[in-house]
Amino acid sequence: MIKGKNNEIIIKKGCVLRDCRIKIFGNGNKIYIGENCDLNQCEFWIEDDEGEILLKENSNVMGNTRFIVLEGQKISLGEDCMLSKDIIFRTGDSHSITDLQNNRLNPSKSIKIGNHVWVGNKVIVLKGVEFPENSIIGTGAVVTKPFTGKHIIVAGNPAKIIKTDINWDRKRF
């Protein structure tokens, strides 16, 4: 379902999309899926104007993953990422939280995931997260803040670094 004007959906060659849904409510939004992505049961949801979902090449999603962009923000997933099942990426809360003077306390913020990141089952990645390349988000993690450095594993709720100096490979040795 797409409601609005000047929205753009780009799907590059070699992509496979199975049972994916796209919902856009607004104008000037963009969904870009890079070459050779394999996506299963993804939901791409953009509300408001000028939002963007960018999945770079050679990434795959195993199932039931939601990319939710609000208030003109962006979700960016790097190259060669591997996402398991039941994952949520969310740039905002959908409703305002204010202080007693009616000042908003919870604006939406973009999410940026680096290249070659493995995301485990049942992970939630919230607004403002930046996550480094060559790293892992462990099963069930709730990621609420940016992480720096490379080659880390985070896990827990809220997520924290549990191991450094790692890398991962799709193959089992």
- Report pLDDT for 172: 85
Q: What is the mean pLDDT of residues 82-97?
A: 96
Confidence of residue 133 (pLDDT cuts 50, 70, 90): very high
- Report pLDDT for 24: 98
pTM: 0.95
Confidence of residue 126 (pLDDT cuts 50, 70, 90): very high
Contact 46, 72 (CB under 8 A): no
Residue 65 in this model has a pLDDT that exceeds 90: yes
Ranges assigned E (strand) in 21-169: 21-25, 30-33, 38-40, 42-47, 52-55, 60-69, 74-77, 82-90, 111-113, 117-119, 124-126, 130-131, 135-137, 142-143, 152-155, 160-164
Question: What integer best gives the mean pLDDT of the chain?
Answer: 97
Confidence of residue 149 (pLDDT cuts 50, 70, 90): confident
Q: What is the CA radius of gyration of the chain?
A: 16
Q: What angle do CA 125, 131, 133 make, to 5 degrees?
A: 135
- Report pLDDT for 166: 97
* Nearest in space to 146 (alpha carbons), one of 161, 131, 156: 131
- Calpha distance 6→65 (Å, rounded): 25
Higher pLDDT, 101 or 172: 101
Residue 107 in this model has a pLDDT that exceeds 90: yes
Q: What is the mean pLDDT of residues 91-99?
A: 95
- What is the percent of the chain where pLDDT is above 70? 100
pLDDT digits (tens, 9 = 90+) for 4-39: 999 999 999 999 999 999 999 999 999 999 999 999
Q: What angle do CA 157, 87, 111 make, to 5 degrees?
A: 80
Secondary-structure class of domain 2-164 per CATH: mainly beta
